[in-house]
Structure 1
Amino acid sequence: MFITAQFDSGNIEVIEANTPDNIQLAIRKDNQSDFYQWFHFKLYGEPGVEHVMHINNAGQSAYPDGWKEYAALASYDRENWFRVPTEFNGKELIIRHSPDQESVYYAYFTPYSYERHQDLIQWAQQSIECQHVLLGPTLDGRDMNLLVIGEPDDQKKKIWITARQHPGESMAEWFIEGLLSRLLDDEDGTARKLLESNVFYVVPNMNPDGSVRGHLRTNAVGVNLNREWAEPTLEKSPEVYYVLQAMQETGVDFYLDVHGDEALPYNFLAGCEGVPSYTDEMHQVGEKFKQILLSITPEFQVEHGYEVDKPGEANLTVASNAVSERFNCLAFTLEMPFKDNANLPDVDFGWSANRSQQFGADVLSAIYGIANSLRS
């Protein structure tokens, strides 16, 4: 028996692995940070034998409530991922699985590899509608990629979408893949109509360093990028610095920042109601956006989510609030679950990469529904 995490987005520490029925593990903290929750490792073991894996430090992780009613994911081919029996006793996360094959991967959520990210960027670049812009290097020297979709024009609305500021929230990039697949489909009427009067600026992965390192929430030097939007720096948060600089050059008429929530088993939106410049017009368009999404897909709901900020009390270091205030535009944080959509459960797969992709495609329809209502 052998366990390893020496690969892209791998994260686990082996404490003891002498017998299949008593494997002791721990999740490694993000570099220079106390955040941890993302795990991704490979087990070599005997097929047909139950392996019992104890993640000892789960109870002290960033979001221990995220383990309640959670089931880990497993895959033999790294393409098809399924849920396996998992329990949380308040201290340990215990995964039980009898592999059918000699080796199997386990992960907190379906990984979105850096290799796939690079493939996504190069695939999008093939479209006549898409321009690939290199914003600059990360602290580890990786590319910060921006996709500009549609012909830039001062008269067009500027719609910005960013994802995966928190690298462990891999469902966010699956969402982007689904959205881009539709937006770049020249036979999709909604996409074609949108691009007549709107330009999309899409950052599929805001945190490539953290993604490769196997981090949950931070970049290469332990910085939570979604608290850097007031004053980003090249020394600590170049990812945000470059994106905000590009936003200054283009302007922003609508902003969507895509995330995953560890604890809540729902898809939901968090708005910018607490920013000082929030208006009744923003509220009306935002409510229209939600109602359209409700009518499009049962995967979305509005009953469960974060507490709404009181007027003037928004945290302006958070992306959606900072961008809304700086550019006087409607902005949302979109959250998806790590567990399942409790309103539409799937025992075998839970919330999945495929469902995230479909949700991304569906959100494009909601954007279409409000595009003409955005400020002129």
Structure 2
Amino acid sequence: MIRISSQFDSGAIEVVDASDPTNIRLRLRDDNTADVRQWFHFRLQGARAQACTLVFENAGQATFPGGWEGYRVVVSYDRRNWFRLQSGHYDGQRYVFGLTPDFDSVYFAYFEPFPWERHLDLLGTADASPVATVSDLGATPDGRDLNLITIGRAAPGKRRIWVIARQHPGETMTEFFVEGLLERLYDTSDPVSRRLLERACFFVVPNMNPDGSVRGNLRTNARGVNLNRAWREPDMTDSPEVALVRARMLGTGVDVFLDIHGDETLPFVFVDGNGMVPGFTEVHARAEQRFSDTLRAVTPDFQTERGYAQDRFSDEMLTLASKWVFHQFGCLSLTLEMPFKDNANLPDGLFGWSAARSRRLGEATLQALLAALDAE
């Protein structure tokens, strides 16, 4: 008998009818307290060697319906090795995909999950590193720890580099990015890492939204708040994650800031800067260009031709992390975006954009950060 379950870390799906393997009818589940839907993560059992067709009946009511165009579902049998289905069809209302499972259990997800246990392992690796320390900034609405990893030692004359990820919990590629960045930064035999830690201290929040991550939300925390719209006036009740990180930033100062994200619709890796924010000068423009030029030189996964159109400035922009940081500190402050689909500039038919590519992008980004410091 076929069974579909999602009662596990980051699980999310609603089952309409699973009685017919050729027409398994599903609905994307809302974030726990917000009218937001797109993330899914569930297990299908009991369908070995049966041709299964699965349908997201409300795909057209997803938060980013354009995200289904060209999208392929991520699949795993062992939750360690993930691959993309070769096909999927979106008709404007429904997203339909199929698989004949090789085993009794198979997992489907919007992107490769980054489980809470892996997050704890990431913290343990930091604790074991001679160049890193882990501290607790405070508690989330659900009572989880909000952790900060500090790499290197703060000292007079050293630059302060802040990196945050996973404000939107469904953007799991961002914590894989941080994992790759941190592992290279811990390597004391890597000349780029050594030079960076001679000149800078890193402050890294690998998961800004622990509650949303475990609950299987796409964009909001346990209180239904989109954290990347809370930076101007964070609230210790509804958005303590932002309030706690912002307070620490004000205490340390910020010289470079990266906010790591994933984009559901655009199949590219790109950065979004601050050209529309008051106070942006030619000096800031050159710093953004230098970062982008270096990252493009060290990894063909990055490009500068496609990204977000520049909006006219309004105070509402200061609710976004990278805009608030630039306005507050006047430093290089960027939002870096990765795709949920594939990188159209360098497509991979088997894996699409993946956890492995996210990790390697994190590693490569250290060279762009070094170039930013060298230019000062």
Whether 1:339 aligns to 2:376 is no
The aligned counterpart of 1:158 is 160
Match of 2:171 in 1: 169
1:200 Cα deviation after fit: 0.5
What is the aligned partner in structure 2 of residue 42 from structure 1? 43
Specify the code of the residue in structure 1 equivalent to 2:66.
Answer: D
Which of 170, 180, 183 is the equivalent residue of 2:182?
Answer: 180
SS of aligned partner of 2:325: helix
Unmatched 5+ stretches in structure 1:
none
Equivalent residue number for residue 238 of structure 1: 240
- CA shift, 1:314, in A, is 7.0
Residue 283 of structure 1 corresponds to 285
Q: What is the DSSP-based 3-state SS (H/G/I as helix, E as strand, rest coil) of the residue aligned with 2:365?
A: helix
Question: Structure 2: how far apart are the matches of 1:154 and 1:66?
Answer: 46
1:138-169 deviation per Cα after TM superposition (whole angstroms, max 9, x unaligned): 00000101001001113100000000000000
Q: Secondary structure at the match of 1:71?
A: coil
Could you report, residue by residue, the CA deviation over 1:336-374 in whole angstroms, capped at 9, with x for unpaired residues? 000000010011100000000000000111111111324
User: What are the Cα deviations for residues 200-253 of structure 1, in whole angstroms up to 9, with x where unaligned?
Assistant: 000000001000000000000110000000010111100000000000110000
Supply the distance in 1 between the matched residues of 2:126 and 2:336 (Cα, whole angstroms): 23
Match among 101, 104, 129 for residue 102 of structure 1: 104
Task: Tell me what 1:74 maps to.
Answer: 75
TM-score, L = length of structure 2: 0.98
Q: Alpha-carbon deviations, 1:85-119, whole Å to 9, x = none?
A: 22111111112001100100000000000110011
Q: Tell me, what secondary structure is at the counterpart of 1:316?
A: helix
Residue 195 of structure 1: aligned partner: 197
User: 1:55-70 counterparts in 2 under 5 A?
Assistant: 55-70=56-71
Q: 1:87 aligns with which of 81, 86, 89?
A: 89
Q: Offset at 1:310?
A: 4.1
Between the aligned partners of 2:149 and 2:256, the Cα distance in structure 1 is 16
Q: Which residue of 1 aligns with 2:9?
A: 8
Residue 328 in structure 1 maps to residue 357 in structure 2 = no
1:143 lines up with 2:145 in the alignment: yes
Percent of paired sites with the same residue: 50
Q: Please report the RMSD computed on the Cα atoms of aligned residues, expressed in angstroms.
A: 1.1
Residue aligning to 1:355: 357
Question: Is residue 271 of structure 1 aligned with residue 285 of structure 2?
Answer: no
**One of 219, 227, 230 as aligned partner of 2:229:** 227
Write the distance in 2 (CA, Å) between the matches of 1:188 and 1:312.
42
Q: Return structure 1 stretches of 4+ with deviation > 2 angstroms.
A: 309-314
Q: Deviations over 1:182-215 (max 9, x none)?
A: 0011111100111001000000000010000000
8 A Cα contact 1:324 1:330, kept in partner: yes
Deviates more, 1:214-223 or 1:27-36: 27-36
SS of the residue corresponding to residue 147 of structure 1 reads strand
Counterpart Cα distance in 1 of 2:363 and 2:297:
14
Give the TM-score taking structure 1 as reference length: 0.98
SS across alignment from 2:101: coil
Tell me the distance in 1 between the aligned counterparts of 2:215 and 2:278: 37
> What is the CA–CA distance in structure 2 between the aligned matches of 1:108 and 1:52, rounded to whole Å?
17
Residue of structure 2 equivalent to 1:296 = 298
- For residues 47 and 115 of structure 2, the distance between their equivalents in structure 1, rounded to whole angstroms, comes to 27
Given that 1:265 and 1:342 are in contact with CA atoms closer than 8 Å, whether structure 2 keeps it comes out as yes
- The aligned residue for residue 52 of structure 1 is 53
Gaps of 5+ in 2: none
The Cα shift of 1:127 comes to 1.0
| CA–CA distance in structure 1, aligned partners of residues 156 and 147 of structure 2 | 22
What amino acid maps onto 2:184 in structure 1? R
SS at match of 2:47: coil
Give the counterpart letter for 1:129 in structure 2.
V
Cα displacement string for residues 37-90 of structure 1 (whole angstroms, at most 9, x for unaligned residues): 000000002322111111111110100000001000100011110111221111
| C-alpha separation in 1, matches of 2:77 and 2:246 | 40
The equivalent position to 2:373 in structure 1, one of 353, 357, 371, is 371
Contact 1:274-1:313 at 8 Å conserved across structures: no
